[in-house]
Structure 1
Amino acid sequence: MVAGVSPNYRGDVVNPRNLAADIPPELNCSLFVTNLPGATTVKILLQVLASHGPFDRIYACHVTEPDPAQGFTTASAKITTFSRPGAERLYSFIAQNRLVMNNLVSRVIWNRNMVGPQPLPQHYTRVLCLRGPKTVVDGHVLFRFLQRCNITFHTQDVFVTQETENERAMVWQFGSYRAQAEAARAALQARWPAMAVQFGPDPCATGIHDRAVGLPGRNVVDRNVQQGPLGMIPGSQ
């Protein structure tokens, strides 16, 4: 057993960012949620949480599938928020048996693999707002680019907020800030310096579930030509 890691942990124990931080328990911002439906994905879980928020910005979210051979018949998730107060709000919500998915009542404990508050600006989130030429700001183009950069990521949603003849604005809601939105932001800025890449509001922090609400600069209804394909790009499930 690796020091600070539960024997029941099914993640990557080699990655130093997955090891417990040397912090007091009262600063822990990481939750371990169990009894989730077997088909739960990061996308599904974050959409459900956003509909019940606001809680906090999500720093990291990872879902582990059931493993009946090892005695795990339901899915579980590790959810880490940016702040301790946000983690406490989310913990209280789940502990009150209010997170119910497919008639399963989720359970929550504080994760033994502790993660402290993140000393990052308040506007840093797992959501990126992109603006640039339509040939570049395209869900399929960007997905393939991130794949080539060897960035492993989950997507809650991808949608267009504004479009002109030559330019497009898009919002990409990643599953995590850690190693996903932060890595994508760095890669996009390095590859296309002229592309505007900014952080947007996290639906789990705002409690805003509707795409059309709370997005700065939005004045164009999502185009149907974008909504079909983008909703099905790999990584968005």
Structure 2
Amino acid sequence: MDRQGFRLRSQNDILGYLDSLPLERIRPNMSYAPRGARELNSSRAIDFTAPLRPERQPQNPPPSFHMGRSCQRFSKEGQSQSLSPFEAQLDPTSYLSNTSRPDQPRGLSAMAPVFTPRTYAPPAPFQPRFAPGAPPSSRAVPPSPLEPRVPPPLPWRAQRPTAPPRRNPSRFASPNYRGDPNNPNNQSANIPESESTAIYVEGLPADCTVRELLRAARGTGKLWASNVSPPTPQHPGSCGKLVFWARAGADRLLAMHAGGRFLVRGAAPTVKMNRWRSAARPEGDPRSRVVVVRGPARVANRPYLDAFFAGGEPGPKFDWDTDEVVARPHAREGWAELEYRFACHRAQASEAYRWIMIASGWWLPNEKEKRALGRDLSPEERDLWAEVKVSWGIDPCDPNPVPPKKEGETEE
């Protein structure tokens, strides 16, 4: 038997026919020598016929234990010497070796991934925008240029006409205005100035009254509203406002002022279009600022009607200013006719008309109005009020008045 055959026979006697083991069952870093082969001594018998049992090699062998070959070698006595793992042959400072790192968890394999602690980058140092001792002029930092926002083109969307900007209703209200500027009926109309019927008059005498202003506006047009504001620090004199029923009345007043014929106490005030705008009312409307009351003389008289209008809970039924009150005789004995010329149709003449219609029984009252009538009227007065008739009168400022309603018509 030659030398090579002798070596193969020795290996088979010691390892138990390595050729019979499948290769996929042989794992690295495992010793397939007989149990206790590494600790073999002369005083202990060795059973070479025992089955092979894998024995795990040390995970962290000493760095000085090196092998020249990557295979298992045997001594002359038949003992197997374990090979050092691959990590032991590497440089301790190499990134492939994690055995020399102090921050690794214990009990892991030498081939486990290297755990490095997470580090956070320190924040950038603070850089002031200007030097502490710099003059104020050099501290100004120019603003960064911003690109203008341009809406994306939408060719598929139809170009809708843009509505005119809405005017702030409370912005154009005078501080002397005694009404509610937040009421929609008291807000400026969203119309062009050429369609507005509101005229502003300034430079009036400090003690000017509504009656004097309306007398100066006779023959201009039917009026919807009028008022006079007292002087203020900004306006030493009184200021007035005239709102006509149609645009034609405002044009006549402007033409009268341009011709020097609009005078109040012999002086010409300043007349211009009011920034608070008002739309025209329907033509042919029989309503006006004048209310005509016909009935028994005990009811159709100014002291009694003024007391009736002023009685309410807790204040008067409504506030009003009168241009004048004209009393006329009636053909029926014991009756009278009274013409109330209020300064305004809305909230004055219209309220007087409504309360007279309710008191005379033509209109049904609500609960609040029932309580007011029960407090103000006696049973005898209720019988007198049942004969009272009311109608709209002719505005003395209207150059082309509409014939008034016939006596007895009660529908507004």
> Conserved in 1, the CA contact under 8 Å of 2:225 and 2:345?
yes
Q: C-alpha distance in 2, partners of 1:183/1:165?
A: 29
Deviation per residue, 1:132-178 (Å, 9 max, x gap): 11111110110111112521111111122223432111111111111
Within 5 Å, which residues of 2 pair with 1:33-182? 33-50=201-218, 53=219, 55-67=220-232, 70-119=233-282, 121-148=284-311, 149-163=316-330, 164-182=332-350
The residue identity in structure 2 corresponding to 1:165 is: E
Bigger helix share: 1
CA gap of 1:7–1:133, structure 2 versus 1, over 3 A, is closer
Residue 216 to residue 124, structure 1, CA distance change in 2 (3 Å): closer
State the distance in 1 between where 2:345 and 2:404 align.
Answer: 19
Q: 1 CA distance for matches of 2:280 and 2:175?
A: 21
What residue identity is the alignment partner of 1:127?
V
- Percent identity over the alignment is 25
- Decide whether aligned partners of structure 1 residues 178 and 64 sit closer, same or farther in structure 2, where only a CA change above 3 A counts: same
Q: Distance in 2 between matches of 1:135 and 1:14?
A: 40
**Which is further off, 10-19 or 57-66?**
10-19
The answer to whether the 8 A contact 2:290-2:393 is kept is yes
- The residue that corresponds to 1:224 in the other structure is none
Matching residue's letter, 1:203: P
The structure with higher relative contact order (CA 8 Å, sep 6+) is 1
Quick check: 2:286–2:404 contact (8 Å CA) kept in 1? no
Tell me the CA shift for residue 22 of structure 1.
1.6
Counterpart amino acid of residue 204 in structure 1: C
Maintained 8 Å contact 2:203/2:238: yes
Q: Which runs of 4+ in 1 moved over 4 A?
A: 214-217
Q: Deviations over 1:165-200 (max 9, x none)?
A: 321111111111111111110111111234211111
Corresponding residue for 2:84? none
Moved more, 186-195 or 12-21: 12-21
- For structure 1, which segment, 190-199 or 98-107, has the greater mean C-alpha deviation from structure 2 after superposition? 98-107
In the TM superposition, 1:163-202 aligns within 5 A as: 163=330, 164-193=332-361, 194-202=387-395
The answer (yes or no) to whether the contact 1:97–1:106 under 8 Å persists in 2 is: no
Paired amino acid for 2:224: Y
Measure the CA separation in 2 of the matches of 1:9 and 1:115. Answer: 18
Aligned-partner Cα distance in 2 for 1:186–1:215: 18
- Structure-1 residue corresponding to 2:168: 3
Q: Could you tell me whether the CA contact under 8 Å between 2:253 and 2:262 is conserved in 1?
A: no
- Alpha-carbon distance between aligned partners in 1 of 2:190 and 2:357, rounded to the nearest angstrom: 33
Alignment size in residue pairs: 206
Which 10-residue stretch deviates more, 167-176 or 116-125?
A: 116-125
TM-score (norm 1): 0.78
2-structure distance, mates of 1:8, 1:128: 29
| Superposition CA RMSD, Å | 2.5
**Contact residue 37 and residue 75 of structure 1 kept, 8 A:** yes
Larger Rg: 2
- Give the alignment's TM-score, normalised by structure 2: 0.46
* Structure 1 gap ranges (5+): 209-213, 218-237
Deviation of 1:24 after TM superposition, in Å, equals: 2.3
Name the SS of the counterpart of 1:206 in structure 2.
coil
Change (3 A) 1:146 1:121: farther
> Are the counterparts in 2 of residues 174 and 180 from structure 1 also a CA contact under 8 Å?
yes
Q: Which amino acid aligns with 1:66?
A: P
Distance 1:34 1:110, change over 3 A: same
> Partner residue of 1:30?
198
Aligned partners of 2:212 and 2:264 also within 8 Å: no
